[in-house]
Amino acid sequence: MGKNTIRRYRFGNPTDTDAVVLKLPAETGEIPRLKAEPVIDPETGSEKGIRFSFGMDPEDILFGLGETVRGQNKRGHRYTAWNTDEVSHTEDKQSLYASHNLLLIFGPGKLFGIFLDDPGRITWDLGYTRQDQAVIVSENGDLDLYILEGESLTEIAREFRHLTGRSYLPPRWAFGYIQSRWGYASEEEIRQVVGEHRKWHIPLDGICMDIDYMERFRDFTWRKDAFPDMKAFVREMQENHIHLIPIIDAGIARVEGYEPYETGRERGAFCTLEDGSAFEAAVWPGLCCFPDFLNGDAREWFGEQYRPLLEAGIDGFWNDMNEPSLFYTKERLNKAFEKAMEQQKHPEDYEGMWNLKSVFNGVESNPEDYRLFYHRTDDGERIRHDRVHNLYGAQMTRATAGGFRAFDPEHRFLLFSRSSYVGAHRNGGVWMGDNRSWWSHLELAVQMLPNMNLCGFLYCGCDLGGFAGDVTEDLLERFLQLGVFLPLMRNHSALYTRDQEVYRFSTVETMRNTITVRYALIPYLYSEFMKAALTDGMLFRPLAFDYPADPRACRVEDQLMLGGECMIAPVCRQNAWGRYVYLPEDMLMIRFRSASDYDLVSLEKGDHYIELKPEEFPLFVKRGRFIPLGAAAEYTDSVTGDGFRLIGWDAEKTEYALYADDGISATPVYEEHLKILREGFGQ
Ligand code: GLC
């Protein structure tokens, strides 16, 4: 199937999205693999976008699209690239917070990838209208299309990273357990949460501070009554090996005298309406202006705003509401009120009354509102927001990372964002947004994860326990068992939901034991993460990537390959004390209960029913390999790089390369930090 190639085809006059680092000349010949044709508006007869299509054989499998609903294999649904503050990730949805427009097509004698570098709305009909056809429509019609070909799925994934750049490297402490909750409102409360973790010996490295730490939800401020001396508090926490991780939202409160608003206005850093005045919409702090992240000067200004918090010693942030989420614009809300008042005069019109519901629902993040405002590029060109909508969060991440680099170029920072686009993977990680305390959302994370890795987002995770709704004890336990392997291991929940800190539950000891496994695995997980990032690989892969010739493996939806040695298979069903697992080769199962309590079972290739009590979860190690397992620790500072137990079965490959750097320097060197562990199995 020839060697790896990437071809670029240009349509119209696309905006520079910052997605790609490898600048390839545009091809002029016929596009391989796809049919491309203009979309004609039936009313006006003019072109309104481009349509790409290709036929699919029944066996074809589709991977990609990063953060979206449904399976690892994306076939059989329609998706829309349109970054959305979506509060309910049900399977009928078409858009979540991110747009990752990469798709890999894999079937008998068929292997290629397509990437649409287009930040506007794109629909992906992947066998929805016709099972045997994929139809992709770009509304903008201005884009770069890339066709990727290669020897294997893994090779194409690597090519894609060559095209789009190396993944973001978090500090090593970011692999520690992080506790978060919307509602932590003071130093005292945070101290108490930390204290409870330490009291119960629940490992902990970070606390996320949600909007409640701010003065009236205004970015870059903090409540002086609740955090009288932020610097001293940060230091106190650091002495306790805890990193504070504040949230920053996209909107800047439109309040006279509030410094970020004033300086942003002076710098011309906000998005504008057609007449040049600032666009305003409400988010948490009330009416806000929206930084023009597509403009270099505005990005620099925004990056500078982090300085007071950085100077207080903060070394991690999460960026939110950056689709951007718009609760309402004044105009749209007023129209809804007018409609309601008009309706009040016609109480007998039940249908009109009923429709009021959708009028008010439509006030939030209304597509029309995204057509009201403009960006100004560095070349002075004005672009209407809807044409570049999906870039907003990614460019916020870029602005933040730029601010960190300007403040301290020597060190890594933790940063994860809700919204993203390809390219943002170079500057930060992502979390999967507002999931719910549902069993199906545990499985959804397993399905999203490899596709996010494929698109470059290696540092990611979901809200463990679920964000919205009340978690049950057994669900949190199973979520944590998955979380053991996620780079971002964060327990987060919404205001007014059941308290979700591990120590609130009767099974606190079981949950603690689960988290100890994470700490024992940090040397391994960090090594595999760094190797994946520094060699443009994937940490998590669908089984098809490693066993493309095994049709059974290619259809597995709820297991994942992890690093070079392992496979995971989380339990995602309530009251299931076990599950079926398909082993694509002989593997050793480590059935964990804690870092020091586990049993080892050698299993042959094939289907197995694995018994897993609520406190048990498996990690499978390929026969012939081994992994290093360290000891339990209460924070990453005390995780050492030696004293491992080496666990494997018949390890014929008797070496393991441990990546052992200082975990914080900004420029890690691959070869220099590889430490070889040796094992004498089978010798
Ligand atoms: C958004 C975020 C969520 C956060 C909340 C309050 O819903 O996705 O994580 O807790 O806003 O800031």
pLDDT in tens, 636-678: 999 988 889 999 998 766 799 999 999 999 998 999 999 999 8
The pLDDT, as a whole number, for residue 273 is: 98
The pLDDT, as a whole number, for residue 81 is: 98
- Give the pLDDT confidence of 582-635 residue by residue, as tens digits: 999 999 999 999 999 999 999 999 999 999 999 999 999 999 999 999 999 999
DSSP single-letter state for residue 385: G
Q: Is 120 a residue whose pLDDT tops 60?
A: yes
Q: What is the DSSP string of 634-648?
A: SSGGG--S--PEEEE
Closest Cα to atom 7 of ligand 1: 434
The pLDDT, as a whole number, for residue 653 is: 63
Q: Is 406 a residue whose pLDDT tops 50?
A: yes
**Of the ranges 36-50, 302-316, 525-539, which one carries the lowest mean pLDDT score?**
36-50
Position 479, amino acid? F
> Would you tell me how many other CB atoms lie within 10 Å of the CB of residue 399?
27
Averaged pLDDT score across all residues of the chain: 96
Q: Give residue ranges with CB within 6 A of ligand 1.
A: 182, 210-211, 247, 320, 418, 433-434, 467, 492
In testing the pocket of ligand 1, which one of 184, 319, 325, 467 has its CB within 8 Å of the most ligand atoms?
A: 467
Find the 182 Cα to ligand 1 centroid distance in Å: 7
What distance in Å separates the CA atoms of residue 423 and residue 443, rounded to the nearest whole number? 26
Closest-lying ligand 1 atom to the alpha carbon of residue 494? 10
pLDDT band at 682 (very low <50, low <70, confident <90, very high): very low
Position 561, amino acid? M
Find the 264 Cα to ligand 1 centroid distance in Å: 24
| Average pLDDT estimate for 276-301 | 98
Q: Is 281 a residue whose pLDDT tops 50?
A: yes
| Average pLDDT estimate for 342-354 | 92
The pLDDT, as a whole number, for residue 1 is: 44
DSSP single-letter state for residue 226: T
- Give the pLDDT confidence of 499-517 residue by residue, as tens digits: 999 999 999 999 999 999 9
Find the 266 Cα to ligand 1 centroid distance in Å: 29
Q: Is 473 a residue whose pLDDT tops 80?
A: yes
> Would you tell me how many other CB atoms lie within 10 Å of the CB of residue 398?
23
Closest Cα to atom 10 of ligand 1: 182
The pLDDT, as a whole number, for residue 680 is: 61
What distance in Å separates the CA atoms of residue 27 and residue 29, rounded to the nearest whole number? 6
CA-CA-CA-CA torsion for 582, 583, 584, 588, nearest 10 degrees?
170
pLDDT band at 683 (very low <50, low <70, confident <90, very high): very low
- The rounded Cα 363 to chain-centroid distance in angstroms is 27
Is the alpha carbon torsion for 421, 424, 430, 433 positive or negative? negative
Q: Is 681 a residue whose pLDDT tops 80?
A: no
Closest Cα to atom 4 of ligand 1: 182
| Average pLDDT estimate for 148-174 | 98
Q: Is 186 a residue whose pLDDT tops 70?
A: yes
The pLDDT, as a whole number, for residue 652 is: 67
The pLDDT, as a whole number, for residue 642 is: 84
Kind of pairing between the strands at 286-289 and 252-253: antiparallel
* Strand ranges, E, within 521-611: 540-541, 560-562, 566-568, 578-583, 587-592, 598-603, 606-611
Strand partners, 610: 579
- Give the pLDDT confidence of 251-264 residue by residue, as tens digits: 999 999 999 999 99
Q: How far apart are the first and last CA of the chain?
A: 39
Strand partners, 10: 144
Name the one residue in this structure whose structure tokens are 């009354």: 353
Find the 84 Cα to ligand 1 centroid distance in Å: 13
DSSP single-letter state for residue 31: P
436: left (phi over 0), alpha (psi -120 to 50) or beta: beta
Q: What pTM was estimated for this model as a whole?
A: 0.97
What distance in Å separates the CA atoms of residue 592 and residue 625, rounded to the nearest whole number? 18
Q: Kindly tell me the burial class for residue 256, based on how many C-beta atoms sit within 10 Å of its own C-beta (0-12, 13-18, 19 or more).
A: exposed
> What are the strands of the beta sheet with 414-417, ordered from one edge?
460-461, 429-431, 414-417, 316-320, 243-249, 206-209, 177-180, 489-491, 463-464
Strand partners, 185: none
Name the one residue in this structure whose structure tokens are 């998706």: 79
